[in-house]
């Protein structure tokens, strides 16, 4: 199987879905001539033209609102937010309009909208461009949330998102775009709500998502050298959340660590901990460990940013504690 980058996998998904369905179109800042800030949309303007690759003003509220209207009237828009942090500017359009329209119309109106964006630190982009906000979108009923960690899932999940009749917030990580992985040439999708077991193990369950999956796999390999057999689970989506796979694993390993780059306080890890406590408490042989970013704005300074964000060493420490 061929290897391509995460960004190439996303571009292939966009290209194939735009060719498959003439109602699929793109909106966003610098997505045309420039090809997007992370170059995912390079070449799409030339291929599909300015009526389907729409350069927008710097107004997230404006073009996400336009995308909601387009979705309600038969199009399948993909709105790209240059940075996830800017989603707050379009929060009413996402939280109050896209998320609620299908419910409030009794199913008569659908909003097949994808909001593509990236998040996370590690590049020294500062506090206003480095947040991980998946928990906020996971909290709002009516929105699906996909967070791929590798090129295969990036392509398959994005194709599923574009074909969905519900709004999807599709979250990428800025440090994953150049990572490579196996991606089939033939058409495929990755269903929402199906977590992936990236590494089987018997001693402790390690649940993660996005770039932190790479840290988790690194930590699991280091733990194996110490005799700790770690099962690594990649969530893939937080809405729907595949809690069944997590609980099944915990019932086997009797221990759980949850790791993510978002802030530890009220992160997705807290919800997973609560669900496991409710559904598998009697199987736990040790307190659950959570690993996340410090509850501070993400620093610009590289040494401080590295200290604030979780890495493989932090996860390994949690694995040691839960298996001690």
Active site residues: 60, 129
Cα separation, 30 vs 37, whole angstroms: 7
Report helix, strand or coil for 28.
strand
Q: CA nearest 212: which of 312, 70, 137? A: 312
Euclidean distance between the first and the last CA atom of the chain, given in angstroms as a whole number: 40
Instruction: Give the distance from CA 318 to its chain's centroid.
Output: 23
Write down the residue that tokens 């030339």 correspond to.
Answer: 46
CB 26 within 8 A of CB 199: no
CB 176 within 8 A of CB 4: no
Name the burial class of residue 8, with classes exposed (0-12), middle (13-18) and buried (19+) by CB atoms within 10 angstroms of its CB. buried
Cα separation, 255 vs 233, whole angstroms: 13
């Amino acid at each position: 199987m061929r290897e391509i980058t995460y960004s190439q996998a996303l571009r292939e998904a966009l290209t194939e879905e735009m060719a498959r369905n003439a109602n699929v179109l793109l909106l966003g800042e610098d997505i045309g001539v420039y090809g997007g800030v992370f170059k995912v949309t390079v070449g799409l303007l030339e291929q599909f033209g300015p009526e389907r690759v729409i350069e927008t003003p710097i107004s997230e509220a404006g073009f996400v609102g336009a995308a909601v209207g387009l979705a309600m009237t038969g199009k399948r828009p993909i709105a790209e937010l240059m940075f996830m942090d800017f989603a707050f500017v379009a929060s009413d359009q996402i939280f109050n309009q896209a998320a609620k329209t299908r419910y409030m119309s009794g199913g008569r109106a659908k909003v097949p909208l994808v909001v593509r964006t990236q998040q996370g630190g590690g590049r020294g982009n500062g506090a206003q461009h480095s947040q991980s906000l998946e928990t906020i979108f996971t909290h709002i009923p009516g929105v699906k949330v996909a967070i791929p960690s590798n090129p295969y899932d990036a392509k398959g999940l994005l194709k599923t998102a574009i074909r969905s009749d519900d709004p999807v917030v599709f979250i990428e990580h800025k440090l994953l775009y150049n990572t490579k992985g196996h991606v089939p040439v033939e058409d495929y999708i990755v269903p929402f709500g199906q977590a992936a077991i990236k590494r089987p193990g018997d001693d402790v369950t390690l649940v993660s998502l996005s770039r932190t999956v790479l840290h988790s796999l690194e930590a699991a390999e280091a733990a194996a050298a110490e005799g700790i057999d770690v099962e690594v689970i990649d969530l893939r989506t937080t809405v729907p959340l595949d809690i069944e796979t997590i609980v099944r694993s915990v019932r086997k390993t009797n221990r759980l660590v949850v790791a993510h780059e978002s802030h530890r306080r009220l992160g997705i890890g807290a919800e997973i901990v609560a669900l496991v406590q409710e559904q598998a408490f009697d199987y736990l042989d040790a307190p659950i460990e959570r690993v996340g970013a410090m509850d501070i704005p993400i620093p610009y300074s590289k040494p401080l940013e590295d200290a604030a964000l979780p890495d493989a060493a932090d996860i390994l420490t949690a694995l040691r504690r839960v298996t001690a």
